[in-house]
Structure formats: structure tokens, C-alpha cells
Amino acid sequence: MTNSRIAIIGSGSWATALAKILLETLPEIRWFIRNEENIEQFRLYRHNPGYLRGVEFDTDRIHFFSDINAIARQCDTLIIAIPSAFLKETLRDLHVDISGKYVVSGIKGLIPEEKMVMAEYLHLTYGLPYENIGVLAGPCHAEEVALEKLSYLTVAGTDESRAEQFASLISCNYIKATTTDDIWGTEYSSVIKNIIAIASGIALGLRYGDNFQAVLISNAIQEIKRFVDVVHPITRDIKSSVYLGDLLVTSYSQFSRNRTFGTMIGKGYSVKTAQLEMDMIAEGFYSAKIIREIYEKYNVDMPICEAVYQILYNNRPPKKEILKLTDKIN
């Protein structure tokens, strides 16, 4: 894989962090950024003009593309790091057959219209066998990657050899990477923890303290386990970093968009106002509605996710919903 041509699809903070990681181990990368003006600014200033601007790049080692078909034709491995709400719009012009390529999802969200996790969407829409799909997950914020703070990632894939090769590729002095074959549990856990982080932020905005947050998160990991055990019943250790670790960092970190979004809701912002002020995507907002449909279908008890859904989509008062939640968790 170190000799293959690797492409990053996306231009946000996580895509930028992944580019930084890959350039630690690869001589060059290819990078799709749809806006040609952003590419020109990137070349001129040697940093991403929109995200993680403190990270300076050797742009001589980056081949920029604004044509998604051109980059797809040239590359063997595609890493997709786009907010799920914008994925279809970004890939709408992709006509190259990618079914034989290795595609890694860096997306922690669901495809809204299809209500699918990324692996399922890639499989059904682009004909990718599941062994050609990897999922990148774990407790890892782009901002800490930019600062080269030690971080841990997990590559999920049914092809153990490919997952291990990719894990080796992204391992460097500040990234430790491991593997798992639990694509479904990893993806759904990554989605649900964003909803939980919104709940954590709402509680913070309502001035609940650390004691309540601890109870909230300990109940949340049980909620996640109930869900993934029903949707994809295999043996897994829910306490491992790809599940519990990701939940903890997203719920507690200052860099968490979902927690920030929830904090604004808890302080009295409307959903629309919070979204406009953030000017960034909180994946948990879109996921809350879809996940609710799934856990209702399977009859899974998800009180924290239900409280978030009621606040975001039925305009229920955050103070009343969280108060009701306090009687459902312990």
C-alpha cells in the first residue's frame, strides 16, 4: 500500500488532519478539493485556507485535483472525509468505476436520504465489495492531530490484511493505529456518540455538573451497546477505545462540534441559530432522526438519544427533557 497512489476526498479539518498524517509516511499524496480558488490559496500560503490553518504543508508533495474523476482514475486507495450531509453532492459527478479500489471512510455519520452507514452505502451504490471498504474511527480530534498530540485510531475492515496495511500507513510518532473486523458496530457507535455528545453539551449548557455528566456517559455506553448488539450481534468489547474512547472524547472535549452545538441548545439557542453560528457541521443533528427510526424499529431502549431527538426535532424545552431523562438513567 505504501507504493499505491492514495487520494483524500474532502477539504475540511479531518481531511486536513489525514493529509498531515499520511505525509509522515508517504512521499506524496493526491488531494481532491472541489473549489479551485481554495487550491490556489493552498498553494500560495501552504496551508488549508479554511481549516487547521496552523498546519503548514510542503505543497510540492501534494497533487491537487478539482476533478473527482481524474483523481479517482489515478488512485488505488481513496480516503473519503466529507460530512455525511454533503457526501452525495460531492460524489454526484463521480463516474469512474471504483469497485476495485480500496475505499476508506473517515465519515462519522449516516447518509441521510438512504439512512445507511457509509460502508453499506458504498457497497450498494458503487458496487464495492465489503472487503474493499475500510472505516476509520476512534478518539481522535483533528485539532490534536494538528498539534501532534498522541492519538489512537482504529481501522475497521473485513479484509484483515488490508486493514492492517492501512493501519501501518497511518501510524507515526503521534498516531497509533489498530484494526478490527467490526465495520457495523464501529460505524454505528461513531454515529451514536455524536448524538450523546449533543446531550452532554445540552446538560453543560443547562449547568449540570461533572457528577451528572459521569452518570450520563456511563448510561450512554450501555445505550450504544444495546443498539449495536441488536443491529449487528457479534462478540465485541464495548469498553475498547474505538467505542468507549470515542464516546468519551466527543462528549467531553472542547474540540467536539456536537458538544458545542448541544451547549448552545442548552443555553437557549434555537437549532437554526446554533447551526448558523457554528458554521460547521454537527453530525449528531442529522443522525438523531435516522437513528431514532432504527431503534424504534428494533425496539431498543435509547432514552438519551430520545431526549436529544425530542429537543432537536419536536422543539421540546431542553430543561424539561433533560429533567425527565434524569429519572430514566442511574
For 313-329, write each residue's pLDDT tens digit. 999 999 999 999 999 99
Q: Which domains does the chain have, with CATH numbers?
A: 6-181 (3.40.50.720), 185-326 (1.10.1040.10)
pLDDT exceeds 80 at position 175: yes
Neighbours of 121 (CB within 10 A): 23
pLDDT band per the 50, 70, 90 thresholds, residue 2: low
Given a contact cutoff of 8 angstroms between Cβ atoms, the answer to whether 29 and 8 are in contact is: yes
- 326 to 64, 228, 248, 274, 283: CA distances (angstroms): 50, 23, 19, 24, 25
Mean pLDDT within 4-23: 96
What average pLDDT does range 175-200 have in this prediction?
Answer: 97
Strand ordering across the sheet containing 6-9? 62-65, 29-32, 6-9, 77-80, 102-105, 133-137, 151-156, 175-180
Question: Residue 281: pLDDT above 90?
Answer: no
Q: To the nearest whole number, what is the mean pLDDT of the chain?
A: 96
Let me know if 209 is exposed, middle or buried by CB neighbors in 10 A (0-12, 13-18, 19+). exposed
pLDDT, residue 5, reads: 93
Question: Strands 62-65 and 29-32, how do they pair?
Answer: parallel
pLDDT in tens, 217-264: 999 999 999 999 999 999 999 999 999 999 999 999 999 999 999 999
